[in-house]
């Protein structure tokens, strides 16, 4: 057991490793309950390390069974070993050979870190600190070594044996029922990228001809019976490989690229060198079980993990504080890939919605931290929306600040200069400073400073002088551990929209630097004067969401609705509508709380109708214009004394009011967007389904008498999961007649497909009904549910805690109590999964007093428990701080 409180790890304490490990030869003899690992390491004292310094290796729940140094067994007083540490007192400068034998129990590994079994398949997960659960090691990302892996297993149990790199040898073990395979990875790598898989798996093979003419063998391994569901993943992989060549000039560097899908996996997927391991949810897809969103998710995650080969693997992180160096950058790359594969505007809107719904609340609550944290207790708790999503926004801003050409030149320089290294954010930024000639020191504060800045902009037009003056102010509120904030370098992309929709170009700009259409905001206050603007324009601010800030402007509702119709920037067209919709929802929440009538302005209805029915716009964009902000989004905008029930009621009011006001248009769209012909997962077809299904949801929540039958008919007739699940969701959430029968029919149809059943759990867990909590409790006993499988836990408990604002935040506190009890139990089995689930509590302080007290009581009770994991304790303590 780990101690209850541990000292935090601090960035400022970083020191290079005392020893270097140059080569690793692993011999892994697999058996379900007693796997033998023999690690032969070539070790050398690092320069600068004192000659009497001991060799200290990391471990985690390990059992040592043998230890030799240069062939001689060590005496018991030469070293001290515990499950989490091996210290050898006197070692030569080296290079010397250390052979460490450990014994593992993969079957008993419920943490899904290190070597474990998923449906019988042996697999590993080593990021961030899982390799130390396999052997004693310098388990840190700046320790780069060459790996050779020999795996041995019973041939019948595990006909497929995989590890990183290229296959070099394989064969039977004579006189036994076992066989072996040897893999060698020619690229030095940190231990977190090690992987091996062994099992009875089916394979979908393919090939890819790289830009340099080399033929790369591609394989996707899945459980037998699933090989027909890999086509989309394989197609996504090939498109990713081509795109990285074309857009970033990055070519793949091994003879094989293997992907394995497993059903028990804590995260989405893992970029192990040459052997990516995936949660099967991000590999398997067919029209009957996967939605359009699932297809898009697979495409993005396959791309993300593939892109890590250069941003993460060839160039890795010096220490875990630099996590955003690989994750933020790789998210940026996968977002750009998806934008190129689909609609750039639609992708940008989806990404900003995700950023605002996941990262903004994190940045506004007790778990706020900088994109590059300075301190952690448990690194697993820092794979956050801030590191990933805000980290990607920072790279996007960097591109905006230096311009497209300098960005590409900076990336090229980075790949060139740091290939084969474990490096830092400073080194990354230096490449762009060099490529652009810009001073990026203020920009670098984006990595250091937590919290979402508020950017306030007001404008005055002087017709006589022909000037537009923008008063721009930035402010970042204090966050835990950071009270004083400095001004950031904020790229403010700007349009000046004339009455006819044209963009006006200023003659001169004073008060801030402007490059192209980007204003560089670097001080707390700017007074920017743009000349040559005779006609009063409507400012279109922060186009494309050019910086992750909260924008407050004096643009009137009328002008916002003008932008929603005329802005040439599609993102801001959507954002303008959202701004007015959100304002309406906030006012309605207040009105309903004081028992008065909320009001819906006719001009807003007209603006929504205009965008939704504009045939010149893509259906996917029109769908987004119809989609209301979620309850949590409204809560975030209100900011304090949140009453989730009032928000739910306000949103329901607006949905039904719009439904009634737009009925003829909605019915028209529903018919117009019907598909002709069979299912295709492409973006255009998915966009039509998205529009049709958001329309269906409005109709199901309005007062057209025949709507209920329309929804039920779609459920029955659907030939794909997108349409079936959309109809089911509307039926269940709107409590339409027949929804119980529909749930039964869905269960009947998909009982044998766990990933489809996750949707069935999710739709019930997110129903805004008073009996939902009881239902969720009952579903915990459903034969398809398992607390040991992270996907099931996310689908039922995670969906309830994060996707059901009104019921998780029940005023009687029962929602909190249930989730906290579940988490405490899960913690014993899988601390990482428990800690993630617990972050659902992160916005508790923004609740109204009754709910706030309930949440606090619950958190305090949990904090008192004696046996919490480091992971869970870290989250609970920070939530309460
Ligand atoms: N390196 C991560 C996987 C990981 C995360 C390992 C946390 C250990 C701890 C991987 O590249 C990743 O980022 N996966 C994401 C999906 C991605 C598309 C953002 C995930 O697993 O959620
Ligand atoms: Zn990643």
| pLDDT tens-digit readout, 530-543 | 999 999 999 999 99
Atom of ligand 1 nearest to the CA of 305: 11
380 CA: nearest ligand 1 atom: 9
- Hey, whose CA ends up nearest to atom 10 of ligand 1? 270
Q: Is 305 a catalytic residue?
A: yes
pTM of the predicted protein model: 0.98
The tokens for 316 are 């890795």
Residues 6 or more apart in contact with residue 220 via CB below 8 angstroms: 203, 204, 230, 233, 234, 237, 258, 259, 260, 261, 283
List, as one string, the DSSP characters of 266-310. Answer: SSSEE--TTEEEEEGGGT---TTT--HHHHHHHHHHHHHHHHTTT
pLDDT band, very low/low/confident/very high, at 1 (cuts 50, 70, 90): very low
Q: Which residue has the tokens 């609550």?
A: 365
Contact 604, 560 (CB under 8 A): no
Band (601; pLDDT cuts 50, 70, 90): very high
* Both tokens assigned to 107: 């079957």
C-beta of 389 in contact with ligand 1 (< 6 A): no
Strands 160-163 and 145-154: unpaired
Question: How long a stretch of residues is the chain?
Answer: 881
Ligand nearest to the CA of 128: 1
Return residues with CB closer than 5 A to ligand 2 (ion).
327, 330
Number of CB atoms found within 10 A of residue 709's CB: 12
Q: Candidates 141, 267, 839: which one to mutate for ligand 1, based on the most atoms within 8 Å of Cβ? A: 267
Q: Note the pLDDT tens digit of each residue in 813-823.
A: 999 999 999 99
Give the closest residue (by CA) to ligand 1 atom 7.
383
| Dist CA 563 CA 568 (whole Å) | 9
Q: What is the DSSP string of 481-499?
A: TB-S-PPP-EEEEEEEE-T
Give the pLDDT confidence of 226-244 residue by residue, as tens digits.
999 999 999 999 999 999 9
Q: Is the CB of 834 under 6 A from ligand 1?
A: no
| Ligand 1 centroid distance, CA of 257 (Å) | 18
Q: Is 304 in the pocket of ligand 1 (CB under 6 A)?
A: yes
CA 271, CA 305: separation in Å to the nearest integer?
A: 5
Catalytic residue among 129, 271, 299, 305: 305
Q: Residue 175's CB: how many other CB atoms inside 10 A?
A: 6
Round to whole Å and give the CA distance between 182 and 26: 10
**Is residue 552 pLDDT above 70, yes or no?**
yes
Asked if residue 247 lies in contact with residue 310, where contact means CB atoms within 8 angstroms, the answer is no
What tens digit of pLDDT does each residue of 352-398 get? Answer: 999 999 999 999 999 999 999 999 999 999 999 999 999 999 999 99
* pLDDT of the residue at 677: 86
Q: Give the pLDDT confidence score for residue 228 in this predicted structure.
A: 96
How far does CA 706 lie from the centroid of its chain? Answer: 40
794 lines ligand 1 (CB under 6 A): no
Average pLDDT over residues 419-426: 98
**Element containing residue 414 per DSSP (H, E):** helix 404-418
Mean predicted lDDT score pLDDT of the chain: 98
Confidence of residue 676 (pLDDT cuts 50, 70, 90): confident
The finding on whether 331 has its CB within 6 A of some atom of ligand 1 is yes
Give tens-digit pLDDT for 248-261: 999 999 999 999 99
349 exposure class (CB count in 10 Å sphere: 0-12, 13-18, 19+): buried
Q: How would residue 5 be classed by pLDDT, with cut points 50, 70 and 90? A: low
Report the residue among 294, 305, 334, 794 best suited for mutation to probe ligand 1: largest number of ligand atoms under 8 A from its CB: 305
* Residue to substitute in 114, 269, 298 for testing ligand 1 pocket (most ligand atoms within 8 angstroms of CB): 269
Q: Looking only at Cα atoms, what is the longest distance across the chain?
A: 97
Q: Is the CB of 818 under 6 A from ligand 1?
A: no
Q: What percent of the chain has pLDDT over 90?
A: 99
DSSP track, 166-183: EEEEEEE-TTSSEEEEEE
Which residue, judged by its Cα, is nearest atom 3 of ligand 1?
A: 270
Question: Tokens representing 715?
Answer: 């459920």
């Amino acid at each position: 057991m780990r101690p209850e409180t541990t000292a935090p790890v601090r960035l400022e304490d970083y020191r290079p490793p005392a020893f270097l490990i140059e080569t690793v030869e692993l011999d892994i003899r697999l058996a379900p309950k007693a796997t033998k690992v023999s690690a032969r390491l070539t070790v050398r004292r690092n320069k600068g390390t004192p000659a009497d310094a001991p060799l200290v290796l990391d471990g985690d729940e390990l059992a040592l069974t043998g230890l030799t140094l240069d062939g001689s067994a060590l005496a018991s007083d030469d070293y001290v070993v515990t499950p989490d540490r091996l210290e050898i007192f006197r070692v030569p400068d080296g290079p010397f050979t250390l052979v460490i034998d450990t014994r593992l129990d993969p079957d008993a590994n419920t943490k899904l870190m290190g070597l474990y079994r998923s449906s019988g398949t042996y697999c590993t997960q080593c990021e961030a600190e899982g390799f130390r659960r396999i052997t004693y090691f310098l388990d840190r990302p700046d320790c780069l070594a060459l790996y050779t892996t020999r795996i041995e297993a019973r041939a019948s149990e595990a006909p497929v044996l995989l590890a990183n790199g290229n296959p070099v040898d394989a064969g039977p073990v004579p006189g036994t029922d076992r066989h072996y395979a040897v893999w060698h990875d020619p690229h030095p790598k940190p231990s977190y990228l090690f992987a091996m898989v062994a099992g009875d798996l089916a394979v979908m093979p393919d090939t890819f001809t790289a830009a340099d003419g080399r033929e790369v063998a591609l394989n996707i391994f899945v459980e037998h019976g699933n090989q027909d569901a890999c086509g989309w993943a394989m197609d996504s992989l090939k498109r990713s490989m081509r795109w990285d060549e074309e857009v970033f000039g990055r070519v793949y560097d091994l003879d094989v690229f293997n992907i394995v899908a497993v059903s028990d996996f804590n995260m989405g997927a893992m970029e192990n060198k040459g052997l990516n391991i995936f949660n099967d949810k991000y590999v398997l897809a067919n029209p009957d079980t996967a939605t359009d969103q699932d297809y898009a998710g697979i495409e993005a995650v396959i791309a993300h993990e593939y892109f890590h080969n250069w941003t993460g693997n060839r160039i890795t992180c010096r220490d875990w504080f630099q996590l955003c160096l690989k994750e933020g950058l790789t998210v940026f790359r996968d977002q750009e890939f998806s934008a190129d594969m689909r609609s750039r505007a639609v992708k940008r809107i989806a990404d900003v919605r995700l950023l605002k719904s996941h990262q903004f609340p994190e940045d506004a609550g007790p778990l706020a931290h900088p994109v590059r944290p300075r301190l952690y207790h448990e690194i697993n708790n820092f794979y956050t929306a801030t590191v990933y999503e805000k980290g990607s926004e920072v790279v996007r801003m960097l591109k905006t600040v230096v311009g497209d050409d300098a960005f590409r030149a900076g990336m090229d320089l980075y790949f060139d200069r740091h290939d084969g290294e474990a490096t830092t954010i400073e080194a990354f930024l230096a490449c762009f400073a060099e490529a652009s000639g810009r001073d990026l020191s203020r920009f670098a504060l984006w990595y250091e400073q937590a919290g979402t800045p508020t950017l306030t902009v007001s404008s005055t037009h002087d017709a006589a002088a022909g000037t537009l003056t923008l008063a721009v102010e930035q402010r970042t509120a204090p966050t835990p551990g950071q009270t004083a904030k400095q001004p950031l370098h904020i790229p403010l992309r700007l349009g000046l929209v004339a009455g006819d929709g044209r963009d006006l170009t200023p003659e001169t700009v004073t008060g801030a630097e402007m490059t192209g259409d980007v204003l560089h905001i670097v001080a707390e206050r700017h007074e920017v004067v743009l000349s040559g603007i005779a006609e009063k324009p409507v400012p279109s601010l922060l186009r494309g969401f050019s910086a992750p800030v909260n924008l407050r402007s004096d643009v009137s509702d009328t002008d916002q609705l003008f932008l929603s119709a005329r802005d040439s920037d599609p993102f801001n067209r959507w954002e303008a509508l959202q701004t007015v919709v959100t304002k309406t929802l906030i006012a309605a929440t207040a009105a309903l709380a004081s028992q008065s009538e909320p009001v819906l302005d006719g001009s807003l209805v007209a603006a929504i109708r205009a965008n939704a029915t504009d045939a010149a716009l893509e259906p996917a964009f029109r769908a987004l214009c119809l989609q209301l902000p979620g309850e949590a989004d409204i809560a975030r905008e209100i900011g304090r004394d949140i009453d989730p029930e009032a928000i739910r009621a306000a949103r329901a009011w607006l949905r039904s009011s719009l439904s009634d006001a737009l009925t003829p248009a909605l019915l028209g769209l529903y018919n117009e967007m019907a598909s002709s012909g069979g299912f295709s997962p492409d973006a255009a077809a998915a966009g039509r389904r998205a529009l049709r299904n958001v329309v269906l949801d409005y109709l199901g929540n309005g007062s057209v008498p025949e709507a209920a039958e329309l929804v039920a008919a779609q459920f029955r007739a659907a030939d794909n999961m997108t349409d079936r699940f959309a109809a089911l969701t509307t039926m269940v959430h709107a409590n339409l007649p027949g929804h119980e029968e529909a749930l039964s029919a869905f269960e009947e149809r998909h009982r044998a497909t766990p990933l489809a059943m996750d949707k069935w759990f999710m739709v019930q867990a997110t129903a805004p009904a008073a009996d939902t909590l009881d239902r969720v409790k009952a579903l915990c006993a459903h034969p398809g549910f398992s607390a040991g499988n992270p996907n099931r836990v996310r689908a039922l408990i995670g969906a309830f805690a994060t996707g059901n604002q009104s019921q998780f935040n029940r005023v009687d506190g029962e929602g909190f109590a249930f989730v906290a009890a579940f988490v405490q139990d899960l913690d014993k089995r899988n601390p990482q999964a428990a800690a993630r689930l617990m972050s659902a509590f992160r916005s508790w302080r923004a609740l109204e007093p009754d709910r706030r007290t309930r949440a606090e009581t619950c958190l305090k009770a949990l904090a008192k428990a004696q046996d919490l994991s480091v992971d869970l304790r870290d989250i609970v303590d920070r939530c309460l701080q």
